[in-house]
Structure 1
Amino acid sequence: MPLRPPPLSLYVHLPWCVRKCPYCDFNSHEARGPLPFEAYVDALLADLDHDLPLAWGRTVHSVFFGGGTPSLFPADAIDRLLQGASARLRFAPGAEITLETNPGTAEHGRFEDYRRAGVNRISFGIQSFDDGCLQRLGRIHDSAQADAAVKLAQDAGLDNLNLDLMYALPGQDLAMAIVDVERALALQPAHVSHYQLTLEPNTVFAARPPGGLPDDDQAWDMQEVCQAMLADAGYAQYEVSAYARPGRQCAHNLNYWRFGDYLGIGAGAHGKLTLGAQQAVVRRWKLKHPAAWLAAAGSAAGIGGEEFVAPQQRPFEFMLNALRLVDGFALPDFEARCGLPAEAIEAPLAEGVDRGWLRREGDRVVPTPLGRRFGNDVIALFLAG
C-alpha cells in the first residue's frame, strides 16, 4: 500500500513561562529578564525555511502556539510569525489558529490584538477554580483571574475557547472536582480538556510527590462524575480527555490523533512528516534549550535529532494516537497513513475484539468503554514483535 500524505499542521513552540509548575514536563523555561521576542520570531522563520523542503506545496490546516506560555509574546510578534508562515506555506481558508494562554498573563486589550493577528482559538490553562489547589499546583493565577481572562477573550469576539481542567489534585475531593466543572461550564466554553494529574518523570512532583493525592478509586469517581456532567451539558467526549460542543473539536489535536503530519518549529519542537516521493515517515525535533536553538536555528545544527519510522513501527505509532479517539479510526486511513495493508494488523485487531477492548463497525475500529479504560494494554497489542 502506498503512503499518502495526510493533512498538515504547524506547531510553534514558545518556550518561556513566568514560573515553571512542579508537575510540568514540557520544554519550558522561566523567563529571566526581557525576552528576545524579535530575535525568536526571526529564528522561527529561519527554522521554518529550513524545514520547508519537507512540505513543499502542501496546505496548512491548523496552527498551534504551545509552550511555555505563548501569551507572554506580544500580539505583534504572533502577527509577524503568522504573516511570515503564510507567505511560505499555503494556509487553508479558515485555518484553526490556537494560542495557549495562562490566565495570569492576560492583559486588557490584548485578545483583540491576537484576534487581529489571526488567532481564532484560545486555550486557557486554568487547571482548577479552587485557589488552594492552584497554589499547590504552583500556578501564578487565581480563580478570579481565570474568570476575568475568559470573559476578556469573549468580549474581544473570540468564542472558540478551550478550558484546561485537571482532577485528582493534591487536597482535592469529589465535591471540589465537581465545582471545578460547574465553574467551567458557567463560562460556556466551546471545548473542555479534563485530565488527571500525573506525576511525570523529571518533574518536581515526581521527585517530591505532594501530599493529599486522591487514590485511584477516588480519581476514577471524579472522572466518571465529571464526564457525566460534561455530557449532560452538551459536551461530547471525542478523545480520552477532550470534550466539545458540536463542531468545536480541536482540529489541530485531531490531526495528531489521526496520525496526521505536522511541522514543528521552535526550541524543542517536534515534527512528523510523510514523504510521498520516498515513501517514508520521518520525525524531526529541534534543540531543546532556547539559547542553543536560537544560535543554530535555520541550519542543520538546530536539529536535535531525526529518525525514520520503520514500517513495522508504524502500526504502534498509529494506534498510540488513533485509539485515544472515542470513534476510533477507519481501516483505509490506517492503510494510507502507514503504507501497510489492513491485513498487517489483523491478528492484534482480532485479539482486541476477543478481549472486549475493540469493536469492528464495517471498516471502522472503535475502542469499547472497557478498551478506553485499559488503553495502554490495547495499544501494546500493536507493538512490533
Structure 2
Amino acid sequence: MTAMQTPPLGLYVHLPWCVRKCPYCDFNSHAAPEQLPVETYLAALRADLDRELERAGGRTIASVFIGGGTPSLFPPEAVGRVLDWLAPHLEAGAEITLEANPGTLEQGRFAAFRSAGVNRLSIGVQSFDPARLEALGRIHGPDEARRAVEAAHAAGFTTFNVDLMFALPGQTPAAALQDVAEAVRLGAPHISHYQLTIEPNTVFYSHPPALPDEDTAWAMQQACDEHLRGQGLRRYEVSAWARPGHACRHNLNYWAFGDYLAIGAGAHGKISDAATGTIRRYRKVKVPALYMDRARNGRAEAEAWPLPVAERPLEFLMNALRLEQGFTPELFADRTGMDYTAVASGVAQAVADGLLEDADGRIRTTTTGHAHLDTLLQRFLPETS
C-alpha cells in the first residue's frame, strides 16, 4: 500500500422526473405527476445536502452535475435555490451542468437557468432524424432539437453538450453521420456520441427492436469519428468529443477516479478518506416518494459499502482506460492507495499484446484496446480464493 491522496470532489444532483420514460432508458427516472412536488423534493435535497457536506469534511466542490430524469422540468428558481445552498462550498469557477431535453417548454428557460447559476447544459438530442426519434420514444422532433441548440447559444452558454446516439433502430451509417454533421453545423462545442445498448429493466429489453448488426455499428462509429476529428473536435473519452477547453470537467473527474457526493433519489456517490486509506461507495433511496420521506429524517442512504483493496485496480482501470489521455502510475497510486506494481505486470502484458501503449509515462488504450475494452479489463479481475 501507499499513501492515498485526496482527489477532487464533485456533486451529483438527481431530479428523477421526466415527461415520459423512454423505452431504452435504465436510469432512475419516473413519469412526472401532473404537479411536480417541487417544494417537498427541495426540502429533501436540502436535508440530504447538509449530511453530504458533513461527509465532505470541509472539502470544496469543483463541479456540479444536475441530472435525471429531465432536470429542466424543474423551475429555474428551484435550481437556483440549490445552487445558492452550494455557493459557500464551491470552488471559484466551478462547472455547473444541467441536463435538458429539447422540449419547447424548456427552451425558454435556458436564460433563466443561466441566471440561476448554471454555466453548462447537456442537451439530450439523441438524433435529428424524425423516424429515429419516434423509434426511441422521444417527445421532441428535429426542429425542436435544432431550436434547443440555438437557444443555448442565444442564452449565452459558451459551453454545452449535445447528446447523440447511434446504431439506432433502422439507422444507416449515412444517417448516423448526418446526425453528427448537424450537431457540428449547429456549433456544439461538445458532443457525446453513444452506441445504443439494450439494458435490462427497459421496454426495449422486453421488446427488443431490430438494431444494426455489429459490423454496421462499427462502420457508423468509424465514419462519425472521422468526421468529428476532421471538424476539429477531439475525443477525450470513449464516447465524448470536445473542442479545446470544452471537455466536461465533472465527467473527467469521474473517469479519473475522483470523488463525488450524491443527493437525490437513487443518486450514487464515492468518497475517499486519505487519512484512513478507505474508499466508500453509497446509493440513495431510489423511489422518489420514499426518498422524500427518508431524506428529511436523515435516512436518505439506501446502502453503502467499502471498496475492498483487491477490487480497486479494476475499478480504477474501468474508468481511467476510457480516457484518451489514459493515466500515470502516480495517479493510480494517489487514487487507489496502492503501489503501481499491483497492475504493472498486467499492463506490460497488455502492451505486448497491442491493447495498451506506454508512452511518455502515460498508459493508454490503443485503437484495438478501445474496441475490446471489456476483454482487456477482464485481465484485471480480482483473484478469488
* TM-score w.r.t. length of structure 2: 0.97
Cα deviation for residue 142 of structure 1 reads 0.2
SS at match of 1:133: helix
| Residues 48 and 298 in structure 2, CA contact (< 8 A), matched pair in contact too | no
Q: What does residue 83 of structure 2 align with? A: 82
SS at match of 1:229: helix
Mapped partners of 1:146, 1:182: distance in 2: 14
Q: What does residue 331 of structure 2 align with? A: 333
Q: What does residue 227 of structure 2 align with? A: 229
| Counterpart AA for 1:9 | G
Deviations 1:69-127 (A, max 9, x none): 0010110000000111224xx21111110000010254454111101111010000000
Q: What does residue 141 of structure 2 align with? A: 142
Cα deviation for residue 364 of structure 1 reads 1.4
| Residues 257 and 335 in structure 2, CA contact (< 8 A), matched pair in contact too | yes
Q: What does residue 188 of structure 1 align with? A: 187
Query: Relative to structure 2, which stretch is displaced further, 116-125 or 342-351?
Result: 342-351
| Residues 334 and 340 in structure 1, CA contact (< 8 A), matched pair in contact too | yes
> How many residues are paired up?
382
| Residues 48 and 298 in structure 1, CA contact (< 8 A), matched pair in contact too | no
Q: State the identity %.
A: 51
Mapped partners of 1:95, 1:228: distance in 2: 32
Cα deviation for residue 59 of structure 1 reads 1.3
Q: What does residue 34 of structure 1 align with? A: 35
Q: How does 1:83-232 map to 2 (within 5 A)?
A: 83-87=84-88, 90-104=89-103, 106-107=105-106, 109-211=108-210, 213-232=211-230
Q: What does residue 345 of structure 2 align with? A: 347
CA RMSD across the alignment: 1.1
Deviations 1:306-362 (A, max 9, x none): 000011110000001000011110110100100001111112112211211111124
| Residues 43 and 296 in structure 2, CA contact (< 8 A), matched pair in contact too | no
Distance 1:38 1:300, change over 3 A: closer
Deviations 1:247-275 (A, max 9, x none): 11010100000000000100000000001
Whether 1:319 aligns to 2:320 is no
Cα deviation for residue 301 of structure 1 reads 2.7
Distance 1:306 1:267, change over 3 A: same
Q: What does residue 61 of structure 2 align with? A: 60
Cα deviation for residue 298 of structure 1 reads 4.5
| Residues 99 and 122 in structure 1, CA contact (< 8 A), matched pair in contact too | yes
Note the residue ranges of structure 2 that are not aligned, 5 or more in a row.
Answer: none
| Residues 50 and 298 in structure 1, CA contact (< 8 A), matched pair in contact too | no
| Residues 241 and 247 in structure 2, CA contact (< 8 A), matched pair in contact too | yes
| Counterpart AA for 1:271 | G
Mapped partners of 2:375, 2:173: distance in 1: 27
Mapped partners of 1:42, 1:258: distance in 2: 32
Whether 1:4 aligns to 2:5 is yes
| Counterpart AA for 2:320 | A
Mapped partners of 2:354, 2:244: distance in 1: 28
Mapped partners of 1:264, 1:105: distance in 2: 29
Cα deviation for residue 300 of structure 1 reads 4.9
Cα deviation for residue 160 of structure 1 reads 0.6
| Counterpart AA for 2:145 | A
Q: How does 1:256-267 map to 2 (within 5 A)?
A: 256-267=254-265
Q: Which runs of 4+ in 1 moved over 3 A?
A: 105-109
| Counterpart AA for 2:177 | I
SS at match of 2:299: helix
| Counterpart AA for 1:131 | P
Mapped partners of 2:298, 2:218: distance in 1: 46
Q: What does residue 244 of structure 1 align with? A: 242
Cα deviation for residue 373 of structure 1 reads 0.8
Cα deviation for residue 192 of structure 1 reads 0.2
